[in-house]
Structure 1
Amino acid sequence: MEELSHKRKLSIMIAIIGAMFFSAINQTIVSTAMPRIIAILGGMEYYTWVITIYMLTSTIATVLVGKLSDIYGRKPFILSGIVFFMIGAFLSGFSKDIFQLITYRGIQGIGAGIIMSSAFTAVGDLFSPRERGKWTGVMMAVFGFSSVLGPTLGGWLVDNMPWKWLFWIFLPLGIVAFIMILALFPKVPRKESESIDYWGSLFLTLTIVPLLLGFSWAGTKYAWGSAQTIGLFAAAAVFLLIFILVEMRAKSPVLPLSLFRNDIVTLSNVIGFIMNAGMMGALIYLPFFVQGVEGISPTYSGYVTMPMSLAMVFVSAMTGRMITKTGKYKKFAVLGFPIMVAGMLIMAYMDSVWMAVIAMIVFGAGLGLGMPVFSLTVQNAVKPNELGVATASSQLFRNMGGTIGVAVMGTIMTTSLKNHMQSAAAATGSSGTANIANLASANPKLAASLKDLQGPQALLDQPKLKELMASLPADIQPVIQHMVDMLKDSLSSALTTVFLSGTALLVLALVLTFFIREIPLRTSNKMPEAERAVQQEPVSIH
């Protein structure tokens, strides 16, 4: 599609961006409101599963669609992705409990994975690697804009309307995006010589599912050393071995192992995995600080995260233009990671809303510098007919990093919170504990209140907490306030541990970035033979 007129390419990009924005805004609008939704539906222990299932299904969809879109073209998959996403969003609004919400979010994840994989690959079809820098920056800016609008709008909606409208309000945009893609996107004839790798797709899915379930359940539902956890990891290892054997014999593998002989692809994917593990795993808990520790409503919580998105929009757009202008990309990642690390460190030690805002600005600037780079490195290092599967591999590693990061950080969060609560209870002293227990035994309402304060869920619904305090006798309110303050301190300390863990992962990603071999961005999708030979060197780091 590189030969299309500039006007036609621009029209197609508008359609792609419309589909991406529909997917992104539906994700970000929920982020700030999710603590309140969990407080209403119940099931705090399943909080991470609402995010994990979305990322799990999007990960599987991403990698499976990559190769299929190389065969059938991008158009049918973007359309089907929009349909899946709309169905999931529509059903999510009817959720009666946390388990229904998790199921419907899984359907949304399928749609999101298909849309994102197809959209980024379509940009590779339309533009040369040198031109992609600008458009990658624009696409990052779309994510940034949705991150500006989404959390703020989501917070306002959940404060003023039934929470189901979070999922329904942008459904008309999905219809518009569908019509735009249907009308503007060219249909590409199927590559008849390519066959579908059914067995590879099956065993890749069977590898991903138990692996991510193992990380999600370890330390929460099951102990890390339990038979269930070890069994899941063992199953993932067995299916991975079978998958490798299948791919070695497949005529048209769903994930060609030859990709990983390219050191640029391999290292970029590893960095993307680590970066998303640290970033997603830590940032998903930012609303816990703003709403739980600081007591800010979901509406104003959105304003706290807005500066990160604004910084990312501005910096990513500028970065994309500079990459296109200079043809260089490595220096932007090398500069971006230290800034992200600085932002994460501020989060670890923030003790006010203003420090949270500063952390968001710093982190957003670093994200805008580093985020656009690694899709470009992968796409620039492979042949044009491998764009779909190469882009899918990049998305696969990022999604898996994010999913595993959320799961592991959830374990760190739960364990750390439990330890801090035990330490705080011990510091209260046996006499204080006995006094609270005696009061509770004589007052059933107080006993119920104390039960509600066993976890951070009570802090995430401030109206309910204020109502509870007002309903208690004046002599009992100081007891509950003491429990609330203790819970806030424990939550704040646990979040510090989570953010420091994310910082450590970002530092590791920074170190690996220095080893990426930078090659010039091509000015055409046609790869010269000499350049092709250079880009297919075996793995080595210089």
Structure 2
Amino acid sequence: MEHLTHKRKMTIMVAIIAAMFFAAINQTIVSTAMPRIIAILGGMDYYTWVITIYMLTSTISTVLVGKLSDIYGRKPFILAGIVFFIIGAFLTGFSKDIFQLITYRGIQGIGAGIIMASAFTAVGDLFPPRERGKWTGVMMAVFGFSSVIGPTLGGWIVDHMDWEWVFWIFLPVGIVAFILILALFPKVDKKQAESIDYWGSLFLTLTIVPLLVGFSWAGTKYAWGSQQIIGLFAAAIVALLIFLVIETKVKSPVLPLSLFKNSIVTISNLTGFLMNAGMMGAMIYLPFFVQGVQGVSPTYSGYVTMPMSISMVIISSFTGRWITKSGKYKRYAMLGMPIMLAGMVLMAFMNSIWLAVISMIVFGLGLGLGMPVFSLTVQNAVRPDQLGVATASSQLFRNMGGTIGIAVMGTIMATSLKNNLKSAIGSGAGVDLTKVDPKVAEQLAAFQNPEMLLDQPRLEQLRHTLPDAAQPILTKMIDMLRDALSSALTTVFLSGAALLLVALVLVIFLKEIPLRTSNRMPGQGGEAAKPETGADVPANVAKQV
């Protein structure tokens, strides 16, 4: 599609951005609303599963669609992704319990994975690597904008409307995006020589599912050393080994192993994995600090996260332009990662709303500098006919990092909170309800659950039902819960910082190659090129690799 006129490319980008915004806003709007929704539906033990199932299904759909879109083109998959997302969002609003919520969010995840994989790859079809820097910045700005209005709007909805509208309010945007893609996006003929790797797709799915389920259940539903968890990890290893054998024998593998012989692809994907593991695993629990520890309502909780999104939007748009102008990208990753790390460390020691806002700004600045880089590095290091599968590999590692990060951080959070509460009670900071009037003790028992901190209206309602004599006891119990939760969150954020530190070390070893000014490869009238081991990259790569 590189040959299309500038005007046609712009109209296609409008369609792509509309589809991406629909998926992004429906993801960010639930962040501040989810604690309240969980408090209403019940099932805090399954809180991470609402996020994990979304990441799991989007991860699988992303990697499977990558190769298929190389064969059939991007258009049918973006349309299918929008349909899945609309259906999932519509059904989610009818959830009666946590299990229905998890199921319908899984359907949304399928749509999100398809949309994201196809959209980012379509930009690679439209523009050469040098110009992609600018558009990657624009697409990051779309995510940032959705992050600005999404959390705040989600908090406002659960404070002033029925929570179902969190999932329904942007359905018209999905319909508009579908119409735009259908009308504007060019159709690409199927590549007749390509075959579909059904067995590889099956065993890749059988690798991802037990692996991510194992991480999600470990430490929460089952012990890390339990038969169930060991069995899931063993099943993932067996499926992975079979998948690797299949990929070495099929003509058109769903995930070519030759991609990972390219050091640029491998390091970029590992960095994306660690960055998302640290970022998503820790950021998902920021509302717990704002709402649970500081007692802020969901509406104002969104205002606390807004500065991060605003700083990310501004910096990412500039970063994209700087990359396009210079053709260089490593310097921005090297600058962004330490700033992200500093922001995460600030989160670990924040003790006020203002410090939380400052940490958000710092983290957003680093995110805006570093995040646009790694899709460009992968796309610039492969042949145009591998664009879809290479982009999918990048999304796969990021999604897996986010999913595993959320699961591991969830385990760290639950374990730390449990230990902190046990220590507080053991040190005498707790309340012995056996020494309180039985009727009052029965009422106070509800305040021993940390979930109570996430539902301020219910907390205040129950507070007013207690006699004046019990108010000091209640205050002591709530303070104990908040201290335990705050300490647990410190552990979570420090764990995220450790992962970002490892990602920073990897970036140091990332080999930089000038971004190509054309999608064409050798023999197509493009720049001279020479393959690095396992993948074709430009000739100016070889000199620097």
Indicate if the aligned counterparts of 1:75 and 1:187 stay in contact, CA closer than 8 A.
yes
Match for residue 449 of structure 1?
A: 444
Which residue identity is paired with 2:530?
R
Which residue identity is paired with 1:211?
L
Which residue identity is paired with 2:478?
V
Which runs of structure 2 are paired with 1:39-438 in the superposition (5 Å)? 39-428=39-428, 433-434=431-432, 436-438=433-435
Indicate if the aligned counterparts of 1:261 and 1:538 stay in contact, CA closer than 8 A.
no
Which residue identity is paired with 1:507?
L
Indicate if the aligned counterparts of 1:211 and 1:232 stay in contact, CA closer than 8 A.
yes
Gaps of 5+ in 2: none
- Among 519, 525, 542, the alignment partner of 2:519 is 525
**Shift, 1:536, TM fit:** 4.4
- Equivalents in 2 of 1:163, 1:497: separation in Å? 31
Match for residue 488 of structure 1?
A: 482
- Equivalents in 1 of 2:260, 2:158: separation in Å? 45
SS in 1 for 2:310: helix
SS in 2 for 1:9: helix
Match for residue 498 of structure 1?
A: 492
**Shift, 1:448, TM fit:** 4.4
- Equivalents in 2 of 1:486, 1:365: separation in Å? 34
- Equivalents in 2 of 1:350, 1:39: separation in Å? 25
Gaps of 5+ in 1: none
**Shift, 1:535, TM fit:** 7.0
SS in 1 for 2:270: helix
**Shift, 1:446, TM fit:** 3.0
**Shift, 1:476, TM fit:** 1.4
Which residue identity is paired with 1:99?
F
- Among 515, 529, 536, the alignment partner of 2:509 is 515
Deviations 1:262-295 (A, max 9, x none): 1100110000000000000000000000000000
**Shift, 1:88, TM fit:** 0.3
Indicate if the aligned counterparts of 2:329 and 2:373 stay in contact, CA closer than 8 A.
yes
- Equivalents in 2 of 1:250, 1:534: separation in Å? 22
- Among 459, 465, 481, the alignment partner of 1:465 is 459
- Equivalents in 2 of 1:535, 1:384: separation in Å? 17
- Equivalents in 2 of 1:524, 1:433: separation in Å? 69
- Equivalents in 1 of 2:284, 2:530: separation in Å? 40
Which residue identity is paired with 1:531?
A
Indicate if the aligned counterparts of 1:263 and 1:537 stay in contact, CA closer than 8 A.
no
**Shift, 1:438, TM fit:** 2.8
Deviations 1:331-353 (A, max 9, x none): 00000001001100110000000
- Equivalents in 1 of 2:227, 2:307: separation in Å? 45
How many residue pairs match? The answer is 536
- Equivalents in 2 of 1:171, 1:181: separation in Å? 16
Deviations 1:219-273 (A, max 9, x none): 0000000000000000000000000011111111000111111110011000000
Indicate if the aligned counterparts of 1:382 and 1:535 stay in contact, CA closer than 8 A.
no
Indicate if the aligned counterparts of 2:208 and 2:236 stay in contact, CA closer than 8 A.
yes
**Shift, 1:136, TM fit:** 0.2
Indicate if the aligned counterparts of 2:529 and 2:536 stay in contact, CA closer than 8 A.
no
Query: Could you state the TM-score of these two structures normalised by the residue count of structure 2?
Result: 0.97
- Equivalents in 1 of 2:68, 2:161: separation in Å? 41
- Deviates most, 452-461 or 356-365: 452-461
**Shift, 1:447, TM fit:** 2.0
Which residue identity is paired with 1:39?
A
Which residue identity is paired with 2:281?
G
SS in 1 for 2:427: helix
- Equivalents in 1 of 2:233, 2:318: separation in Å? 42
SS in 2 for 1:49: helix
What is the percentage of aligned positions where both structures have the same residue? 75
Indicate if the aligned counterparts of 2:22 and 2:173 stay in contact, CA closer than 8 A.
yes
**Shift, 1:533, TM fit:** 1.8
**Shift, 1:499, TM fit:** 0.2
**Shift, 1:70, TM fit:** 0.3
**Shift, 1:537, TM fit:** 6.7
Which residue identity is paired with 1:446?
A
Match for residue 6 of structure 2?
A: 6
Residue 478 (structure 1) aligned with residue 472 (structure 2): yes
Indicate if the aligned counterparts of 2:16 and 2:119 stay in contact, CA closer than 8 A.
yes
Deviations 1:136-193 (A, max 9, x none): 0000000000000101111111100000000000000100000000000000000010
**Shift, 1:437, TM fit:** 1.9
**Shift, 1:426, TM fit:** 1.0
- Equivalents in 1 of 2:469, 2:483: separation in Å? 23
